[in-house]
Structure 1
Amino acid sequence: MDRRRLQFFVALCEELHFHRAAARCHITQPALSQQLRALEEELQVQLVHRNKRRVSLTRAGETFLSEARKILRQMEHAALLARQTDRGEIGQLSVGVTAPALYIVFPEIMHRFRMELPNFGVNVHVMTTSEQEEGLRSGAIDVGIFHPPLDDQSLSSRLFARMRFNVVLSDRNPLAARTSLRLEDLSRERFIIFPRVIGPKLYDEILTLCQQAGFSPELILEASPAQSIIALAAADFGIGLIASSLQQFDRPGAVYRPLEGPGPTLTLGVAYQSDDTSPAIRTFLDVAVAIGEQVQ
């Protein structure tokens, strides 16, 4: 059904006068009469009564007018959605995020992203870095917040945040009396650490730095997410190393002390398909970089 014919019909119904309706539609009166007849032939019903003095709707015309207005509104809405999608203002974004990043930067990134693109839906998947790589290759996710390095060099990525680690320990631990700690101070402590699969490079870096400090850490527990490490440390099961920004979690019995000297750093990056230049990806990347500058 021709959209312009619907518009001509609605204009005639609202004006109830061929000359005024034709002027409103910027066409001649004969052209308007021709379009109306074509619409009636298409529908196989008479829509208006015509005489020299006035135009009135038939009962079929009254029913059709209501539906024609709905159709025109729906068509305009569909056109608007298409334009917004083309400009990257609306759509769906599937995001992969590692468990540590979920509690460090992700909430603020999502808040800013939704402010920039309020009509965008977001699906969130908690995934390891290797799972994100597979998800990006398969199309299961559009973008990921990962811990470097990436094994798949065909993916594009940008590092956006580096954070030092703090020590979390029980307030009953004698080390809690100190204002700061060094790795060598932890040589006799039992370590609570995240599973290696979450961040193999960071896991190995922690062990290497401990060895360089003169000891091999006693790894008694693997725990994730960070809240679990904090809870276990508060219960004096051992000590944990967590990103400095995570000390926002106030847990009774847990204290945080900065780690001075050589220590591990948590690095975060954004990964995406190299050929994906959509506005949503660019916006997500810009937001992540801006947030990363605030947490470093």
Structure 2
Amino acid sequence: MEFRQLKYFIAVAEAGNMAAAAKRLHVSQPPITRQMQALEADLGVVLLERSHRGIELTAAGHAFLEDARRILELAGRSGDRSRAAARGDVGELSVAYFGTPIYRSLPLLLRAFLTSTPTATVSLTHMTKDEQVEGLLAGTIHVGFSRFFPRHPGIEIVNIAQEDLYLAVHRSQSGKFGKTCKLADLRAVELTLFPRGGRPSFADEVIGLFKHAGIEPRIARVVEDATAALALTMAGAAPSIVPASVAAIRWPDIAFARIVGTRVKVPISCIFRKEKQPPILARFVEHVRRSAKD
């Protein structure tokens, strides 16, 4: 059975005679007649009966007409879906993240992608940076987000944003720092940093910024993540240093002072395989590169 036979059969059934069907299909009548005979022989049933009124469908013909229409409709949709998949318009994008990019930069990037590609879907998985690299190489994820990824020859790293840093203090201490401060203002301040793992980390970068400014930071503790750091600050423990994406969230009893000065920013990075990119990843990478330029 061929799609051509289904198209011919539907045309004959709807036109009511071979000549009208041939005219509708822009072919001569003999090929249609031969294809209808071949179709009936293949199915082993009579689909069409000739009468003085033209061609009429048998009971088998009526049943087959419904199926033929559904088959051609499904084939058309399948073709459209296949072409859309080849363009990267459909499918699931598997995204991994670690740390604070999940607060702002990643959701904004995903929103732009899903707005332009509404038939795509996204899955989110929390993974350490090392797990993300392993997942990319194994093909279990498409793309990862964090900061300060380890280098690998098969993986590309794109910095999509540079974030300001903020000092987070308990609201009762906000008068000491105002709306902005400098690293030098924090020389004698004990600080809570994060994360504890995933080296090199955000904490390592913050310490490096202090040392580049000729300041030895006073570190009270290094905790698991931003939420733990701010929970301690909220409880009245040492102030925390956080990126802008965290400071943009309303935290009870926490005040934020932007840390000003040269080089006082930290990157947010995206990683993906350099080769063998499925279409949906290639489509997403276009958004990543545009975001990096902006």
**TM-score of the aligned structures, taking structure 1 as reference length:** 0.89
Alpha-carbon distance in structure 1 between the residues aligned to 2:280 and 2:270 = 13
2:123 counterpart of 1:123: yes
1:110, distance to aligned residue in structure 2 (A)? 0.7
Question: What residue in structure 2 maps to residue 231 of structure 1?
Answer: 231
Does structure 1 retain, via aligned residues, the 8 Å contact 2:15–2:21?
yes
1:188, distance to aligned residue in structure 2 (A)? 4.1
Which AA in structure 1 matches 2:258?
P
Does structure 2 retain, via aligned residues, the 8 Å contact 1:170–1:176?
no
Alpha-carbon distance in structure 2 between the residues aligned to 1:84 and 1:149 = 33
1:111, distance to aligned residue in structure 2 (A)? 0.6
Alpha-carbon distance in structure 1 between the residues aligned to 2:112 and 2:15 = 48
Question: Could you list the per-position Cα deviations for residues 134-163 of structure 1 after superposition, in whole angstroms to 9, with x for gaps in the alignment?
Answer: 111110111222323432122122222111
The farther-off stretch of 16-25 and 282-291 is: 282-291
Which AA in structure 2 matches 1:265?
K
Does structure 1 retain, via aligned residues, the 8 Å contact 2:179–2:256?
no
**TM-score of the aligned structures, taking structure 2 as reference length:** 0.90
1:249, distance to aligned residue in structure 2 (A)? 0.9
Which AA in structure 1 matches 2:154?
S
SS in 2 for 1:92: strand
The farther-off stretch of 57-66 and 95-104 is: 95-104
1:7, distance to aligned residue in structure 2 (A)? 0.8
Question: What residue in structure 1 maps to residue 259 of structure 2?
Answer: 259
SS in 2 for 1:89: coil
1:291, distance to aligned residue in structure 2 (A)? 4.0
Alpha-carbon distance in structure 2 between the residues aligned to 1:23 and 1:272 = 54
Alpha-carbon distance in structure 2 between the residues aligned to 1:124 and 1:29 = 57
Does structure 2 retain, via aligned residues, the 8 Å contact 1:108–1:291?
no
Alpha-carbon distance in structure 1 between the residues aligned to 2:237 and 2:157 = 38
The farther-off stretch of 14-23 and 200-209 is: 200-209
Alpha-carbon distance in structure 2 between the residues aligned to 1:219 and 1:72 = 69
Q: CA RMSD in A?
A: 2.3
> What does residue range 145-156 of structure 1 map to in structure 2 within 5 Å?
145-156=145-156
Please identify runs of 4+ aligned residues in structure 1 that moved more than 6 A: none
Which AA in structure 1 matches 2:77?
H
Question: What residue in structure 2 maps to residue 71 of structure 1?
Answer: 71
Alpha-carbon distance in structure 2 between the residues aligned to 1:106 and 1:19 = 61
Alpha-carbon distance in structure 1 between the residues aligned to 2:14 and 2:229 = 69
2:268 counterpart of 1:273: no
Alpha-carbon distance in structure 2 between the residues aligned to 1:119 and 1:174 = 47
Q: Which runs of 5+ in 1 are unaligned?
A: none
Which AA in structure 1 matches 2:223?
E
Does structure 1 retain, via aligned residues, the 8 Å contact 2:168–2:239?
yes
Question: What residue in structure 2 maps to residue 186 of structure 1?
Answer: 186
Alpha-carbon distance in structure 2 between the residues aligned to 1:240 and 1:286 = 35
Alpha-carbon distance in structure 2 between the residues aligned to 1:291 and 1:266 = 16
Does structure 2 retain, via aligned residues, the 8 Å contact 1:90–1:119?
yes
The farther-off stretch of 152-161 and 1-10 is: 152-161
1:177, distance to aligned residue in structure 2 (A)? 5.0
Alpha-carbon distance in structure 2 between the residues aligned to 1:103 and 1:292 = 18
1:118, distance to aligned residue in structure 2 (A)? 1.3
1:285, distance to aligned residue in structure 2 (A)? 2.8
Does structure 1 retain, via aligned residues, the 8 Å contact 2:13–2:57?
yes
1:59, distance to aligned residue in structure 2 (A)? 0.8
Question: What residue in structure 2 maps to residue 286 of structure 1?
Answer: 286
> What does residue range 79-94 of structure 1 map to in structure 2 within 5 Å?
79-94=79-94
1:49, distance to aligned residue in structure 2 (A)? 1.0
SS in 2 for 1:172: helix
1:221, distance to aligned residue in structure 2 (A)? 5.0
- Give identity over the alignment, percent: 25
> What does residue range 91-102 of structure 1 map to in structure 2 within 5 Å?
91-102=91-102
Q: Which runs of 5+ in 2 are unaligned?
A: none
Does structure 2 retain, via aligned residues, the 8 Å contact 1:190–1:237?
no
Question: Could you list the per-position Cα deviations for residues 229-287 of structure 1 after superposition, in whole angstroms to 9, with x for gaps in the alignment?
Answer: 33332222221111123322112211010112366532122221111355433432332
